Amino acid sequence: MGATVSVRTERQVAILGIEHPPVNALAQPVRAALLEAVERAERDASVVAIVITGSGRAFVAGAEIRELDDPPLAPVLVDVLARIGSCRKPVIAAISGFALGGGLELAMSCHGRIATPDAQLGLPEVKLGLLPGAGGTQRLPRLIGVEAALEMMLGGDPVTAPRALESGLVDRLVATDSLITAAIDEARASASTGEPLRRVSDLPPPPPVDAALIDQMALRYAKATRGTGSMPRIIESVVAATQVPFEEGIALSRRLFEECRVSDASRALRHVFFAERAAGTIAATPRAIRQVAVIGAGTMGVGIAIALADAGLEVRVIDPDPAALERGRNRFETHYASQLRRGRCDERSAAERLARTAFEAGLDAAGGCDLAIEAVVEDLAVKREVFAQLDRLLSDGALMASNTSYLDIDQFAAVTRRPGSVLGLHFFSPANVMRLVEVVRAAATDEVALATGAALARRLRKIPVIVGNATGFVGNRMLQAYGRESQLLLLEGATPQQVDTALEAWGMAMGPCAVFDLAGLDIGYRARRQRRDLPDDPRYFRVADRLVELGRLGRKSGSGHYRYGEGGERLADPEVLRIIEAEARALGVERRDIDDAQIVERCIAALVFEGRALVASGIAATSADIDTVWVNGYGFPRFRGGPMHHAGRAAEHPPEGR
């Protein structure tokens, strides 16, 4: 069996242990070894039943995703599972840890399923633009019904073992330390009855599906699955389970799976999956972080504090302004009150988070902390003063990080005695929600500090990307190029709503004009006035700057590129068009009709060109890091894989005539 499937016999039961670290993915060698082990156990007269289990922290956490780039290798999983299901001896799945994707399909092909209470079971293929291709679309509806099966497959999130028991997905829960013993007992009991084995493939199909339910499900998951093509195929496969024989449904789901596997969307989503896993990798050992000071009780500071508290860290939120400190405390407490009302945490966990977070007026409170994160106003002089004071207060082993969006981290390190311990931790707003953190390497930042920043981000369940120290780092540097192109398009003849609508239809979560309005146009305005490296071009962000000069700061002032209604909805404003036309005349820009395709092409090209420059200069380590930043921080559509992946695919498959 090699190192992929271990085999031992206990009380006439063959125990097949899948051993393929780290998560027992069903790679071709595992599939081949499992098939051989099942067939050998079936032939062995001394064996009456079989138990399949996984070693380590997973039963099986899915397929070997890298294999999906190539045609499937024999034995394919669907055939292995069919053979397990047809085995003449009882086969019991003993599930602990994760049973996901192909792992859950494996468990469902067995004749019984026992799980530990902490096990998690799910079919997350939709998140990779796929559908369960080894029988999950046919077996799961037969076990738990069509509606529950669609929820699991279209949502892609795992269910807990108690919920799986309640639904009928597993047969029994047992303590972790007695899992194998209980599975052996179950297997022997099944073998001794002489009754036919309970094959899921033999269960009657679920009743016909109500068309209204299908419409409801499609609407519910339309946004999450947009652009992937997998949702309608999942629905088609599940509906088939109610209408056609099992084998026919298997054949249909396999064909639809192959359509998804070779699609651009699934390739893009798989690229993002691996890019996120590789991001933020540093060989150095991180320092232990127990207590963190957050300097600044504004929206960003409080968001960072919430993320830290949620991760079990002790937090000191510090702000010398009593009014700002009180607003921050209220925002923090209101957040957890809201979490309680929504059932997202219980009273005990909310109380613990509140208890380990203090709000202090004096910077002295940072003295005992392992890390200080500066989140004050985006002003170089103010931030330098904060770093100088922190350097005097913190112990020699403590780290100092800035949450700046644009400013030079070297300028902060220069006022300290420990430049190697200074780095950037650029969170994205709202900091307790957004998954991305740019971990910024300044000139002197050492590897331990970077490793600590990346480890902290992962502890906060975020994705760290290591970036170099340049104006705007990676994300905002590219945002400037993207925004510059959108602003030029306004002068040349497009309207804000046309620019935003075109890019949102293409897949961006929000168009650039709406993004700048949401962030506050005055923030970019101030940042541009602190820089000395802007292009010598009077058109550069001229519309946005003029809007600020007229008091139109974005959503917070009720107007920017748009007017904003009482509910925050954005409304086209004829006054903005007059402002744009006046600026175009003053600059001698001739306005013309611009189509949506040109808007998308120019704005995305601006991203790509800037991204290539960042990789060439070493500010971004890889193109995949850039894709991770833009997918997780700026609303770039996952199903397009990020700007650099999208550009690569476009180069491979240019439009006709190009």
pLDDT digits (tens, 9 = 90+) for 435-453: 999 999 999 999 999 999 9
Structural contact between residues 77 and 28, judged by C-beta atoms closer than 8 angstroms: no
**Strand 357-360 and strand 172-173: pairing?**
unpaired
The rounded distance, in Å, linking the Cα atoms of 630 and 624 is 10
451 burial type by CB count under 10 A (0-12 exposed, 13-18 middle, 19+ buried): buried
Going by C-alpha positions, the residue among 23, 189, 224 that lies closest to residue 90 is 189
Question: Has residue 514 got a pLDDT over 80?
Answer: yes
Residue 1 — pLDDT band, cuts 50, 70, 90? very low
Phi, psi of 241 (to 5 degrees): -60, -25
Structural contact between residues 627 and 642, judged by C-beta atoms closer than 8 angstroms: yes
What separation in angstroms does the CA of 448 have from each of 281, 417, 444, 453? 12, 17, 12, 9
pLDDT digits (tens, 9 = 90+) for 300-313: 999 999 999 999 99
Please report how many Cα atoms fall inside a 13 Å half-sphere around the Cα of residue 558, on the Cβ side: 2
Phi, psi of 92 (to 5 degrees): -115, 135
pLDDT of residue 657: 45
Question: Has residue 45 got a pLDDT over 60?
Answer: yes
The whole model's pTM is what?
0.93
pLDDT of residue 31: 97
Residue in the structure block whose two tokens are 């050992």: 285
Beta strands in 124-214 (DSSP E): 159-160, 172-173
pLDDT of residue 566: 86
The rounded distance, in Å, linking the Cα atoms of 316 and 312 is 13
- As given in the structure block, the two tokens for residue 595 are 């189509």
From first CA to last CA, the distance across the chain in angstroms is 52
The rounded distance, in Å, linking the Cα atoms of 186 and 498 is 64
Residue 3 — pLDDT band, cuts 50, 70, 90? low
Mean pLDDT of 471-484: 95
pLDDT digits (tens, 9 = 90+) for 345-396: 899 999 999 999 999 999 999 999 999 999 999 889 999 999 999 999 999 9
Going by C-alpha positions, the residue among 201, 144, 199 that lies closest to residue 170 is 144
Taken in order of first residue, the domains within the chain and their CATH numbers are 5-262 (3.90.226.10), 291-471 (3.40.50.720), 476-618 (1.10.1040.50)
Phi, psi of 59 (to 5 degrees): -70, -70
Q: Which residues pair with 359 in a beta bridge?
A: 317
Mean pLDDT of 65-75: 93
